[in-house]
Structure 1
Amino acid sequence: MDDMIRVNEQWYVNASSSRADARTRVLKHGESFALFDRLGDILPVGLGEQGLYHEGTRYLSRLELDVDGQQPVLLNSAVSRDNQRFSVDQTLASTPHIAEDTVHLRRTKTLWHGVLYERITAKNYGNDTITLRLGMTLDGDYADIFEVRGNTRPQRGTGLEPSYGEREVCLGYHGLDARLRHTRVRFDRAPQSVEPHEAGHRLVFVLTLSPHQSQALTITVACDTDDTRQQVHDFDAVMQAHETRKDRDYALIGALYSDNEQFNEWLNRSAADLHMLVSETSHGPYPYAGVPWFSTAFGRDGLITALQTLWLAPDLARGVLGYLAATQSTTENVGKDATPGKILHETRDGEMARLGEVPFRHYYGSIDSTPLFVVLAEAYYARTGDRDFIENLWPAIEQALAWIDQHGDIDSDGFIEYEASRHGGLIQQGWKDSADSVFNADGSDATGPIALCEVQGYVYAAKLGAARLAHLLGLTHQAEQLQAQAERLRQRFDEAFWCDDIGSYALALDGNKRPCKIRSSNAGHALWSGIALPSRAARLAETLLNDKSFNGFGIRTVAEGEARFNPMAYHNGSIWPHDNAMIAQGLARYGQHAAAVRVITGLFDAAMHMEDFRLPELFCGFAREPGQGPTRYPVACSPQAWAAGAVFHLLQACLGLHFSADAPRLRFDHPLLPTWINTLEIRSLRVGHAVLDLALARHENDVSVNVKRKQGDIQVSVLV
């Protein structure tokens, strides 16, 4: 399994064709997502990841429309700004019976509770009656998401014989996990014929259109399991349900509006992506990590996304904390990298995970999710003052703290470390979890156990945050202990990790406590967490923002000139938006406000070159060229939750926004806006029981804040 992980990561980098080239279109709702090409079809092209997926399995691997055996001509295709529907406009090339550009086809798709809905509308703009033979070819391979990613299985389940009704085709698969999965395809009119096809099953529908007449064909594709049969609704009713849900869900993010329309596009696309990626759980909303590879609950990703959006959407943080507390490990399981108190890394529900072919059904192989859980808990209280929730969460917080001290610190040296999984899990267990991401200055692998730079900072922030919560709950002695532990950790961290010769904290300490002297973005997280000594901040900021690290669009994961630097590598020279946003907030924390503005400016420039202003999971770290955008990373997830959340984190960093639940109080600490934003409105910002509308204006050296509306008791202050 170690080789399997390595093979996947190598496969990522060496892919011969990419999703960036294929320009796929994405829909997601709940436990389902779909990837289409620009024509609205599902085809085995590029990396072969197109399809309709549900609970980690591909239920539809082909869905292809033709008219009289010919592919229609694409006019335009786009996913709506709210990510709820995908529309494709097409026409037909001329034939002996149909003049060119006289037929318009509109395909409209949406997802709702495990069902794909599609309406195909054909309109005849000509002056003669025409007959169209619409062919629909479909098939389902029931591939597990890990198979789609490139893993080979020695055995698979059994495909079932398709069944046909007057207006229905049902495909099926009996998995090795003894689960039955069915793809139930229904039409609102009967096909004229069902024809054998080398790519699956081809159904033909005949539409006769008088001059200027239009007709529609509606198709639904339900993803059923042996214990769940999806309910299929009317197409128009589903579209209305989306509108109702949108009106409710947009309160999750709030409203931001600037005088820069391009920045507004970035904000709006990011907000819509977050809404799409959020799934409802029994504990509240949870942002799934990304499409296509990570459309499930990830601990680290969910925690960071919740931190990014906490100032606007505290309910999301509450949902993440509730879910992760409920799935916190209570036992030791070596195969799952689980020990008591540890917070989940990821969960999967596909066939391979159910069978244990991959260890990710409930997998705990991340070193940082547990301290980040405590960090988010304290930040959530500071934002909301929700003491009742914290009291209920406190046992999980105490278990997380116990894990840090008892299981996280492998060799009892005061730092938390990890060793490579020996049972098929991850080799590296920080956020840079590719197998080659931790190395020495000469390029050799660092031997474990590994103590990552940023993780010590997370532990520092967790202990300080837990101390504040302990004080809140009247646990004075425990609070004092946690405070003292944090202070000792900060001093020891500086002594062990600071490398004056590279002007940065080391990437990590290896198993012999030798520093991996690599200039990396990890060190910037020491600013975010506050563990960095103030005397190091200016030097570290200079290292992070010089030409070796900052390429004009963002801070590279590894600086140019380091042994394994590769601008095309997943973690060794690429640029990750969430990483940059965390660093920007760290820079602002230490008074490096201009540097934080430089980071948001670089990512804004990157977003302007991206389709739909959507920042992907990562992009390549090549030097910026005049007039050119960043180079796409071949198989980056897009949308990705913490990439979507980055803009909100960056904006909070520039504005120096801080909340206090005690007053309640909102403080702007030396706010700045980039030169390309003159005014910014924050509408309907809820703080406790109060609601605020704020108008911000940029001046030469500062930002003014005008309270346009205030309902309820709250203090607003600006520190300049």
Structure 2
Amino acid sequence: MDYRVIKEGDLFFLTDVNGDINGNDDAGHGLYTKDTRFLSRMELFIDGEKPTLLASNADKSYFASIRLMKVSKDEGAIEILRERYIYDGILYERVSLTNYFPRAVSCDFAAAFDADFQDMFIVRKYRTGDVGEIIGREIGERGMSIRYQGKDDILRETQIEWDWQEGTKAGADGCVHFAVSLDPKESKQVCFTVRPLLNEQKSSVLPFDEGLRKLEQSYDLWYNEGAQANSDVPVFDDFYRRGVQDLRLLMTDVGCGEMPVAGLPWFAVPFGRDSLITSLFMLPLNPAQVKSTLRTLAAYQGEKVDPERDEEPGKIMHEIRFGELVNTNQSPFAPYYGSADSTPLFLVLIGEYVRWTGDASLVEELKSNIVRALEWIDSYAGRAETGFLTYSQEAEKGFPNQGWKDSPNSIVHESGEYASSPIALSEVQGYVYQAKKSLSPIFTKLGDTRLAMRLDKEAFELKERFEKAFWMEDERFYAVALDKNGRQVRSVTSNPGHLLMSGLPDTSRAELVAKRLTAKDMFNGYGIRTMSTDSTGYYPMSYHNGSVWPHDNGMILLGLSRTGMKRQAGQVISGLLKASESFEYQRLPELFCGYDSSVGSPVPYPTTCSPQAWAAATSIVFVQAMLGLVPDALEQTIVLNPLLPEAFNELTVTNISIGSGHLAVRITRAAESSESVNVDVISNTTGFNLIVMP
């Protein structure tokens, strides 16, 4: 990556690889919270010059270490080590200067700061708007502050402090100079803290090492509370730990408990689709974590008809923002509701959560939200003659396509013509089917048999309509969508792969879908492409029309596992695991280009986000798929139908939370070159009946 980013809670810090924000770049570097940039410049200088980069390390998701130097004619050097993290709403950066000259040296060490308080949409040049102004700057020997009065009547302030014990010289330009004298091999340190304040909210500054210790303890607790996986393949073990660590990084509480935000740097906010799919993937890690996702999205459920935000009663939001433009109604993201899939996915996650935990009390708590979501699905689908859930853009500044492939060119006919809305996406119908099928037995358990029977009947009728309308007999595959005239959009894409997870296709068609998804035109050696190389709209460096998205593969992988397609599941796992080795810290990005593996390493997509929550959570899907794990707390059963991809001979997974207990399992290859797998149940405190498939 050409940037460094760390995050904790609602605060994240984005810089260049040197650790600087130079105040003039177009990369949007800065310190952000509530979609506002609270620090727009932070640069270090030695004797007026920028030091040279030696190494830039962010192996720990929450901590960055950057090593710089200033050299003088091979006589020696001054090393500058920058170490940083965020804790309790404060950025900590410790700078250590070490003299590697054979004599004592003196230098002018300087740090320059500024804050512009720009809304993130303005930083990214997505919007312009009527905004506030800087109302004060104060600077002293131990700190400075910059204050901003927004048009939304919120007072924002950035407080910068340092702990240098000797004299400093601070200028009105925000540049602080430290006179540093160092004997040979001597080191001196200065710790900077940057604290964004909203309406005078304030937390206490801790000593650098104490704050770091508390932060690391929180990561240890996160890891120890979740499922742990170890294998005889070190690449997988590192990949899994990276995913678990990044998920902890991306958790944020906006009022209803911690939930995963979409990704860094630009999507560090709650989403509908992204947060729901990430939470769905996280169930084997720690199902209790997903409750906050459901509660947060329920709290922001649509209440009224508002075309400017694509809002309707019962609809689950797409994305929420908290910046000045949103607060002053200059942007529709407060929240914005333009997604067709968030609402059924909300219901899918509730159903899956209960299957993992047996906790029907959450369904009772959210029953009014569930009923309103179902009403929105039924009423909106009822507007279409086909009876399928469709979408069309209402908001002027909203999205023309409102499935997960939301770029304007993503739904394209064989002729190259873009599909006209209202559009019915294949995978969205699958989510609706899965939602109703999974909620039906839950409502039976809760005594609402009338609703349960209705949902079951509606799911059956949807399946029949879907099979007739979407199946392309000549392609032996499903159409990606139906357009406004009910015409099939006949591009071969990855979207129908999500149907395998939903359980909608019968066995014969599920097998055909799995076969096509892993054929050469769809599988590039590293993963399943978003679009077939044979389709009209395909190009490998596209955002949605031929690229490879790890989360898309994760959704498909869940379906391959549930339908017993072990060969194809192993192929996908092996491909993505191989791809992970080409990315920094084995962190699968949001997406990468769809070029065939014969060209060499995966080709990065130029503007991908990393870390990305649903890409990180794909590592958890690997574990679930390899175990072939399907819990059902309602029936008190656990099914294991395991597989070991090539290169694996052993996998051990412990501390899997199911129901009110835990499961620990080891799977081993039965014999060299054998596809058979032995299952050793290390412990099972769930009390559920364990079924091991051959």
Task: State the TM bucket, normalised to the shorter chain.
Answer: over 0.9
Corresponding residue of 2:653: 682
Paired residue secondary structure (1:363): coil
> More displaced, 692-701 or 637-646?
692-701
1:89 counterpart (49, 62, 67) = 67
Please state how far the C-alpha of 1:230 moved relative to its aligned partner: 4.1
2:227–2:284 contact (8 Å) kept in structure 1: no
Distance 1:120 1:482, change over 3 A: same
Which position in structure 2 is the counterpart of 1:577?
550
Q: How far apart are residue 226 of structure 1 and its match? A: 2.2
Letter in 2 for 1:510: D
Q: Check 1:713–1:467 CA distance in 2 against 1; reply closer, same or farther (3 A cut).
A: closer
- 1:29 equivalent to 2:2? Answer no
Determine the structure 2 residue equivalent to 1:194: 170
Q: CA deviation at 1:154?
A: 4.8
**Further displaced range: 651-660 or 671-680:** 651-660
Residue 15 (structure 1) aligns with: none
Which residues in structure 2 correspond to 1:188-337 (within 5 Å)?
188-189=163-164, 192-195=168-171, 201-337=174-310
Shift in CA distance, 44/165, structure 1 to aligned 2, threshold 3 Å: closer
1:60 aligns with 2:39: yes
How big is the shift at 1:663?
Answer: 5.8
Distance 1:408 1:159, change over 3 A: farther
> In the alignment, which residue of structure 2 is the partner of 1:665?
637
Q: 1:255 to 1:510 in 2, by over 3 A?
A: same
The TM-score normalised by the length of structure 1 is 0.92
Could you tell me how far 1:219 is from its partner in structure 2? Answer: 0.3
In the TM superposition, what is the alpha-carbon distance from 1:662 to its structure 2 partner?
Answer: 3.8
Aligned to 1:110, the other structure's residue is in SS state strand
Q: Please list every run of at least 4 consecutive aligned residues from structure 1 whose deviation after the TM superposition is greater than 6 angstroms.
A: none
SS of residue in 2 equivalent to 1:298:
coil
- d(CA) in 2 for partners of 1:715, 1:646: 27
- Give the corresponding residue for 2:132: 157
Is 1:532 aligned with 2:484? no
Who is 1:13 aligned against?
none
Map Cα deviations across residues 443-486 of structure 1 (whole Å, 9 max, x no partner).
Answer: 11211111011100000001101211111111122211111111
8 Å CA contact 2:17, 2:56 repeated in 1 = yes
Q: Which of 594, 614, 617 is 2:567 aligned to?
A: 594
**SS state of the match for residue 58, structure 1?**
strand
Partners of 1:713 and 1:411 in 2: how far apart? 46
**1:667-687: CA deviations, max 9, x gaps?**
212x11112121111122222
RMSD of aligned C-alpha atoms? 1.9
Q: Which residue is equivalent to 1:402? A: 375
Once the 2 structures are TM-superposed, how far is the Cα of residue 661 of structure 1 from its aligned partner?
1.2
Q: Check if 1:348 corresponds to 2:297.
A: no
Matched, 1:719 2:693: yes
Q: Which residue of 2 aligns with 1:182?
A: 157
Residues 191 and 203 in structure 1, CA contact (< 8 A), matched pair in contact too = no
Q: Structure 1: which 5+ runs fail to align?
A: 1-19
Q: Does 1:368 align with 2:341?
A: yes
Q: Tell me, in whole angstroms, the C-alpha distance in 2 between the residues paired with 1:438 and 1:640.
A: 24
Give the Cα separation in 2 of the matches to 1:413 and 1:172: 56
Q: Does 1:691 align with 2:667?
A: no
1:107 pairs with one of 75, 82, 96: 82
State the SS of the aligned residue for 2:488.
Answer: coil
- 1:431 corresponds, among 404, 428, 436, to 404
Per-residue CA distance 1:213-272 (angstroms, 9 max, x = gap)? 221101011111224234333222211210221232224532111111111111111111
Equivalent residue of 1:400, what SS?
Answer: helix
- Percent identity between matched residues is 38
Letter paired with 1:24: Y
TM superposition score normalised by structure 2: 0.96
Matches within 5 A, 1:318-717: 318-625=291-598, 628-662=600-634, 664-669=636-641, 671-699=642-670, 700-711=674-685, 713-717=687-691
Find the residue that maps to 2:367 and give its secondary structure: helix
Partner in structure 2 of residue 9 of structure 1 = none
SS at 2:71's partner residue? coil
Q: AA paired with 1:92?
A: K
User: Which stretch of the first structure deviates more once superposed, 286-295 or 657-666?
Assistant: 657-666
Structure 1 residue 611, shift from structure 2 partner = 0.6
Whether contact under 8 Å (2:310, 2:395) holds in the other structure is no
Counterpart residue type for residue 331 of structure 2: V
Report which stretch shifted further, 181-190 or 572-581.
181-190
Q: Which one-letter code corresponds to 1:140 in the other structure?
A: A
- AA in 2 matched with 1:685: I
- Quote the offset at 1:712 in angstroms: 5.8
CA distance in 1, matches of 2:515, 2:19: 47
CA deviation vs aligned residue, 1:374-411 (integer Å, no higher than 9, x gap): 11111111101112222212221111111110134432
SS of corresponding position for 2:236: helix
1:433 maps to amino acid: D
Q: Extract unaligned runs of 5+ from structure 2.
A: none
Distance in 1 of aligned mates of 2:663 and 2:215? 28
C-alpha separation between the residues in 2 aligned to 1:528 and 1:210? 65
Deviation at 1:281, TM superposition (A): 4.2
- CA deviation after TM superposition for structure 1 residue 370, in Å: 0.8
Shift of the 345–574 alpha-carbon distance from structure 1 to 2, 3 Å rule, reads same
Q: Give yes or no for contact 2:644–2:675 (8 Å, CA) kept in 1.
A: no
Native 8 Å contact 1:557 1:572 kept in 2 = yes
CA distance in 1, matches of 2:470, 2:98: 68
- Counterpart in 1 of 2:91? 116
Q: What displacement does 1:576 show?
A: 0.5
Q: Which amino acid aligns with 1:705?
A: V
Q: 1:392 to 1:154 in 2, by over 3 A?
A: closer
- What's the counterpart of residue 10 of structure 1? none
Partner residue in 2 for 1:75: 54
Q: How many equivalent pairs are there?
A: 690
For residue 577 of structure 2, what is the amino acid of its counterpart?
Answer: F
Task: Show CA shifts across 1:642-664 (max 9, x none).
Answer: 00011211331232101121464
Q: CA deviation at 1:422?
A: 3.5
Cα deviations by residue, 1:512-542 (Å, 9 ceiling, x for unpaired): 1001001001111111211123221222222
Counterpart contact for 1:410–1:418, Cα < 8 Å: no
Aligned-residue offset at 1:38: 1.8
What SS is found at the alignment partner of 1:92? strand
Deviates more, 1:703-712 or 1:677-686: 703-712
Contact 2:287 2:657 in 1 (8 A): no
